[in-house]
Structure 1
């Protein structure tokens, strides 16, 4: 069945996929003494994708059409026609459902204002600033900045409501942080983060990916003005080689980590260790050395290193995604034993950028069948517990921007 779903059927499918994503993360590396990730999420299964869902639930936007983002992936671009305003907390039902079924601590990914602005048409603000007597570049930046900060205020209310209902770990997703490669825009990334989290009590992190070919350097040192940010989680593995080693020549993808050391950064770092746009899996030894190299060049203690995929796993099959999560779960144990001489896990594990969505779920037959890329992979089955909603319908509201399965 691919069409004609009732609202109840849609809700049950979404809730099953949320339970499935949670189980994948909590049971990743099931052969280990301590399997699973320390921080988990429900894979954004209740969202259409990271842009459309928030924009559908913020006043002031009108959708224009579909735009290609990567490979065969598209998003619906919107135009801001009037000042954005809060409509509803579009992640609250999703969070409450995840919180009630996750055994590990949930980390909520929230698309930041920088990314919504970068992926939208700025009609309302460009018309407003177009009347000013400023150079064209100054008009464009001023329009972006005003739109960004006003959106940050809307998102702050979304985050505030999540915190009031028990959320503690919130990740602002900013894949577009390096899209506008100017000093002013780099400063705006930090300003937007501070405005979104202003006056709120929680653990806030920032994830970014897809930097230009010369890396994240354009953001420094201005990014470090995001004073409320406890952890920066960036993608590195997609620019790295598969060889084993902890020297600069073997770990070219992790060169940007030196920026944190050079600017005296002492907080936490999330280090991407698996490339999410290929099915090719690195060896555990190579992933271990990526983490050991990160520790070496940042001078940070192990407890401040978080191990994660480069980004979300939405483009991977469930089999490959589970294998990648298994590497994330395994490497702290291995790196801890080798770097500390004892068999405990001094590092933390978390999902990648906000979207671990499993687009191919249900289209690949038996999920534990032999795969041509490797051995039999037994994926975890989500447990249907009393009150999960799976036995009688659900607890996740399918709102605007969430109806497409």
Structure 2
């Protein structure tokens, strides 16, 4: 690594090794949260291809970085700062309170579609969707994500006007509850209608690439934006997806999307990322990405994880249908929280909130105990 020369497209992928609950040295914090790491797997990338890899302890970092080429040193320091720094609160338009990342948040899913993979259109009626959304709020959801187009594998696009008609009445109704609302869409006109109806956040599975107007619409609004990685479209994404280095490729792709947003006037302080579990990824790809979620904090923005009821859970278990994957959803979601993820996007809000609160209680107790032990 130290002998590697800086390439024009060189970049660092920094993967924390075995993050754990920590209090003080010799650990560094992961995205400013309660989890930290004492070792770092440093990979030098040329484009999105690894060219050198080395594991370094936190105690060795000062000596290790001193021998880096100056151009590489600047990039390394920038990525390490992004990896360890806390995520500042995010302003939400129309709300006095910002979105804070001092604790994990739960985003509840409201699918206003007749063909959802998980709930089979149970909430495609406006009244049913409103009742479901309110139930998720009562169950402890911090955010509601409202979508009118299924993006399950093989799904076909929905006409824009039909998508607007599905979600606008639901957003207008739920906006009265005072909840933070996200619109799950990849179409610019639907984004505009949803924001006007009361949505606060744009959640785009194409990271503002599907619609030529989407980036400009998002930039012109005050709304935070979630950029998700997907390979292909819902119609084609599971047709034997191939990666040479899945985590590195997703990392570089999201890095470029963040840069494109900033160039368009959409500031980093308004951005979040989602690695897109199940969107153009095999079971092995999904597992590699989940295990590598800590590395994506080097992007320097909050991270959302959507594993709820995903197909890979059934593949690892007994091929249960989507509605019977609660246990696997909780296991994968809590694993993500242990890797610093700030938001879980889920169907089963009540159960997830309970699991998150127990995890928080355990974490607080462990950190307090470590602090007491350190002071003896």
Structure with more contact order per residue of length (Cα contacts < 8 Å, sep ≥ 6): 1
When normalised by structure 2's length, the TM-score is 0.46
